[in-house]
Amino acid sequence: MKIGIVGGGGRMGQMLIRQVARTDGATLAGVTDREGAPALGQDAGLLAGLGPLGVPVTADPVALFAAADAVIDFTSPAATPLHAKLAAEHQTALIVGTTGLDEAAEEALAVAALSTPILQAPNMSLGVVLLSALVERVARSLDIDWDIEIVEMHHRHKVDAPSGTALALGQAAARGRNVDLADQSVRSRDGFTGPRTPGTIGFATLRGGDVIGDHTVTFAGQGERIELSHKAQSRDIFAAGAVRAALWCSGRSPGRYTMTDVLGLDQ
């Protein structure tokens, strides 16, 4: 399968170049980065710390989507809608790891999914897919006397908050409780907040250093507490999941897919 990477100069982009290069059955169709980005013109292999691959980084996503069977997008919310449109036009599968997408970007993915496979996951690791299933199950088992709080910590460069994974874990908890997260979420607290409103799902965000991604969902009851955690120790887990997802998309019908589909897990 010919796999293209958009945002190849980024933290995840470089991991993805390495992952494609070492995966049987995958070849690098091309790599793009933002117009004006320092990575432009460089050999993608050298950029990613490998030997030369003979694939230059360009700012031409049209050519990339024309050449690739699947494209992996870990870029920015502003970039993803164009990638969705190009995926639909070229019937190229699109694997979206980018988080912090707004409604317009989500809508662009929904439209593209009418023409091509769109696989979206705020966290491509096996561990977080399992964590999410566990959170839903525990939330279903406990009544609202158990307060749910979600804490995440990421590196100092992260630009969106709460993380896409934290929000997805909140969605899992809300599904388990059979409530709408939008009605129940408390995204920040500051000053004289008053006591906690029963049934709400709270989020707290920490940023610092080079933390790759830690998530903990706490169910706080009377006299006891359950904590479910995942800690990413390497970005390799996200890149491996994304390339696995791209290969899984080969021959799939247009539509929206998640890592749960790729891993064949029952929710």
Ligand X SMILES: NC(=O)C1=CN([C@@H]2O[C@H](COP(=O)(O)OP(=O)(O)OC[C@H]3O[C@@H](n4cnc5c(N)ncnc54)[C@H](OP(=O)(O)O)[C@@H]3O)[C@@H](O)[C@H]2O)C=CC1
Binding residues for NADP(+): 34
In this structure, what token pair is assigned to residue 20?
A: 């494609």
Contacts of 258 (CB under 8 A, 6+ apart): 119, 120, 121
108 near ligand X, rule: CB under 6 A: no
For residue 192, give the DSSP letter: S
Number of residues that bind ligand X (CB under 6 A): 25
Contact 7, 74 (CB under 8 A): yes
CA angle, 144 as apex, 140 and 145 as ends, to 5°? 125
SS3 content of the chain, % helix, strand, coil (to 5): 35, 25, 40
6 near ligand X, rule: CB under 6 A: yes
164 near ligand LZUJQKHR, rule: CB under 6 A: yes
Active site residue 215: no
CA distances from 177 to 142, 172, 199 (A): 8, 9, 9
Catalytic one of 154, 215, 230, 231? 154
120 near ligand LZUJQKHR, rule: CB under 6 A: no
Binding residue for ligand X, selected from 45, 100, 117, 170, defined by CB under 6 A = 100
Residue 98 binds which entry of ligand X, ligand LZUJQKHR, none, with Cβ cut-offs from 5 to 8 Å by kind? ligand X
Look up residue 76 and give its amino acid: S
162: preceding bond cis by omega (within 30 degrees): yes
Measured distance CA(3)–CA(249) in Å, rounded? 11
Measured distance CA(228)–CA(67) in Å, rounded? 42
Residue 64 binds which entry of ligand X, ligand LZUJQKHR, none, with Cβ cut-offs from 5 to 8 Å by kind? none
Binding residue for ligand LZUJQKHR, selected from 14, 32, 75, 123, defined by CB under 6 A = 123
Residue 154 binds which entry of ligand LZUJQKHR, ligand X, none, with Cβ cut-offs from 5 to 8 Å by kind? ligand LZUJQKHR
Question: Where would I find the H helices in 119-221?
Answer: 126-141, 164-177, 181-184
- Binding residues for ligand X restricted to 79-98, rule: CB under 6 A: 79, 97-98
User: Shortest gap between Cβ of 100 and ligand LZUJQKHR (angstroms)?
Assistant: 7
Residue of minimal CB distance from ligand LZUJQKHR?
213
Active site residue 158: yes
SS3 109: helix
Measured distance CA(114)–CA(140) in Å, rounded? 33
For ligand X, which is the closer residue by CB, 158 or 177?
Answer: 158
Residue 63 binds which entry of ligand X, ligand LZUJQKHR, none, with Cβ cut-offs from 5 to 8 Å by kind? none
Catalytic one of 83, 90, 158, 215? 158
Residues catalogued as catalytic: 154, 158
Residues that bind ligand X (CB under 6 A): 6-7, 9-13, 32-34, 37, 74-76, 79, 97-100, 121-124, 164, 238
